[in-house]
Structure 1
C-alpha cells in the first residue's frame, strides 16, 4: 500500500512545492528587518537598497510561481524563456542589494526549471552561465577578490547541478510514465478491436454452420416428410403433415437467425476509440462518433484505429496543445476523420514517418489525407477512407 502511494505522487506538483519551499527559505533573512537596516547604516549604504531587495524578492516569487504553474506544458515557450531571463536579472539584483549569497540560492531554485524549458545542452550552458554571472556581485563584497568570487560561484554551481539533474530525472520519468500510459491505452484499444473482430468472425462461423448443416438437414427432413405424406394413410398422414409444418417453421427460423447474424457483422469501433483516448490525461480529447459506429472490413477498422493513434501521438509530442477535437463522420460511402487542436502549429510542416504511414494506409484503400497548419493556429487534419474498394 505504501509503495502504491509513493507511485501515485505527482512529480510535477512535488517539484513545484519543493521549489517554493526553497524560495521561501531564501527570504528568511528579511525577517531580521531592523538588523538589516542597522547593517546598511553601518556600511554607509542607502536604505532604499533594502526596499529594492524586498521588491525584487517578491517579483522573483511571482515570476517563479507563474513558471511553476505551467511546468511540463509545451506552450508559450518564448514567453517562458523571457521570464527565465527576468528571474536571473532579479536574482542578480537581490545579490547586489543584499550583498549576500541569497542570489545564488535563488538561482539554484531557478535551475530546476531549465530542463523543462529548453534542450539539455542549452540548459546546461545556461546553468553554468547564470552562476558565473554572480562573480561580479560576489567580488563587490568588501574583502572579496575575483578568485574568491569564482570559487563561491563554483560552489553554488555544484548545488545547482544537483538540483538540475534531479529535475531532469523527474522530467524524464514523468514523460516515460505518460508514454507508458499512452502505449497501454493503444494496446487496450487494439485488444478491443481484436476482440470485436473475433466476435464477428465467430458469429459468421456459427451463421455458416447453421445455414450449411442445420439448414441442409432441415431441408432434407422437410422433403422426406413431403414424400411420406403421400405414402401413408390416415390417421398417420395427419401427423406427418404436422411434422412437415414444424420442419418448415424450424427451417424458416434458422434462415431468419442466419440473416440477423449476417446483418450484425459490422466491427464496432466505439469501445476501441474510447479506450484509446483514456490514456492521454495531459490532453483534453473531445471525441465525436456517429451512432453505432462500425465498419464491415477488419482491415479498414484497423486503419481507422491507427490513424486515430497517430493523430493523438503527434498532438501530444509536437503540438503543445491543450485540447484535441476528433470527429468521425460516415456518409456517401466513406468515413471521414476530422481532427484539430489548439497547439502552436507550424509554417514549415515536414511530415514525419507517422503522417507518411497514415497517408500510405489510407492510399491502400483509395483514401486521402489533407493537412492544414500555420504558426499559432493549431493543426488541422482531414482524412477520408472509402468503405468499398475504388477502381
Structure 2
C-alpha cells in the first residue's frame, strides 16, 4: 500500500509539473506572448526546475539524503520562483506549492517553513506596482495557505506511514515473542511428561520386571512359562516407555511454523521464506534463528525501503545450520551496527556460531551455527 501511494504521488507530481508548461506552449503557438521576459529564458528556467525536481527525488530516494537533498530543494525554490516571475501571474504559482510539498517530504520543519515564507513573499512581486495593497496581501495569503495545506498533508501522510511501519515492527516482535513463549511452554510440558513417565511408570515397570524375574525362579511349570512371557512383555513395555521419554526430550522445535507466523501479513517488504525440511536444531539454536529473523525483518521495515526480502535457512555439509538473508533495498553507505545487530551477533556466538553483514547493494546477512 505504501509503495502504491508513492507511485501515485509521483505520477501526479510529474503530471502537474508538465501541465504547467502546456498553457505557455499553446499561447506561443497561437502567436501570443505569455511570458514577462524573454520566452526562451522562461523555458530554460522551466526545464531547470524539472531537472532539479527529478534529481532531488532520485538522489534522496537512492539513500543519499543529506547535502544533495538540501541543494536540490534550494535549486527547486530558486528555479520555481524564476518560472513564476518570468511567466504570467496565475497558474505558474502551482510550482511553488509543489516545491513546498517536496520540501516537507525531505526536510525538517524549520527549513520547510523558511521555503514557504520566501515563496509567499515572492507572490505579490509580479503585481507591483499598481495593485492595491489588499489584493497583494490576499494573493500572498491564498498561496501561502495552499503551501501550508500541502505541507500539512505531506506531514500527516509521513506520520501515518511511520505509524504503520512501527505497528508492523511491533507486530513482528510480538509474534516472535509469542512463538518463543509457546515453544518454551511446549518444551517444559514435554519435559514434565517425560519425567513423570520415567520416574513413575518407568520405576514401576522396573519393579514389575524384577518381581516377575523372582517369581519365575520360584514358579513351577507350566506357571513358569506364563511368568516368563509376562516378564518379557513388561521389559518390552519398559523399553517403549524409555523410547517415548527420549522422543519427548529430543522433539524438534517447529521452526518453520514459528517463522511463517512471524512474517505473515507484512505489507512491506514481501518476505520469501525457504527452510530446509531436513534441518535439525536444538531449542536454543531455534530461538536464535527466530530472534535473528525478527531483527532482519524489523530492519528491513524500518531502514531498507525494500520491496522484497529473501530468507533461506538450510543445513550445510558439516551438519550445521546456515542462514542467508538479503533484500532489494537501498543498503547503507555508512554501516554502523546498532543494538539489534550487535545482539544478533552475541546470540550466534553464544551457540558457537557467527554472523556477517554486507550493507552494499541491499542488505545481506550470513549466519551459521555448528552441528548439534
TM-score range, shorter chain: 0.7 to 0.9
- The residue that corresponds to 2:367 in the other structure is 383
Aligned to 2:341: 355
- Tell me if structure 2 keeps the 8 A contact 1:94–1:102: no
Residue-by-residue CA offset, 1:230-266 (whole Å, 9 max, x unaligned): 33345544443343333233223223323333342x2
Match of 1:170 in 2: 157
- Give the 3 Å change call, closer, same or farther, for CA 339–160 of structure 1 in structure 2: same
Indicate the residue corresponding to 1:197 in structure 2. Answer: 184
Task: Give the total of aligned pairs.
Answer: 368
The separation in 1 between residues aligned to 2:99 and 2:36, in whole angstroms, is 32
Q: Deviations over 1:349-390 (max 9, x none)?
A: 22222222323333334433333334xx333333333456xx
Residues 10 and 314 from structure 1, CA distance in 2 versus in 1: closer, same or farther, beyond 3 angstroms? closer
Are 2:307 and 1:307 aligned?
A: no
Q: Write the mapping of 1:50-69 to structure 2, written as runs, cut at 5 A.
A: none
Of the three residues 301, 317, 322, the one matched with 1:336 is: 322
- Cα RMSD, aligned residues only: 4.7
Q: Structure 2 CA distance, aligned partners of 1:183 and 1:278?
A: 13
In the other structure, the counterpart of 1:126 is 115
Which has the larger displacement, 181-190 or 309-318? 309-318
> Partner residue of 2:196?
209
Equivalent in the alignment of 1:117: 106
Match of 1:285 in 2: 271
Unmatched segments (≥5 aa) in structure 2 = none
Match of 2:240 in 1: 253
> What is residue 321 of structure 1 aligned with on the other side?
306
Report if aligned partners of 1:268, 1:292 keep a CA contact under 8 Å in 2.
Answer: no
Report Cα offsets for 1:3-56 as digits up to 9, x if no partner. xxxxx9999479849967x959x98x96xx89x979969x9999x79x97xxx6
Shift, 1:204, TM fit: 2.7
- Which blocks of at least 5 consecutive residues in structure 1 are unaligned? 1-7
User: How far apart in 2 are the matches of 1:288 and 1:122?
Assistant: 46
Matched residue of 1:111: which SS?
Answer: helix
How far apart, in 2, do the equivalents of 1:14 and 1:162 lie? 21
Instruction: Give the alignment's TM-score, normalised by structure 2.
Output: 0.74
| Paired residues of 2:36 and 2:86 also in contact (CA < 8 A) | no
- Asked if 1 retains the 8 angstrom alpha-carbon contact of 2:262 and 2:294, the reply is yes
The CA distance in 1 between the partners of 2:2 and 2:322, in whole Å, is 40
Counterparts of 1:111 and 1:143, CA distance in 2: 28
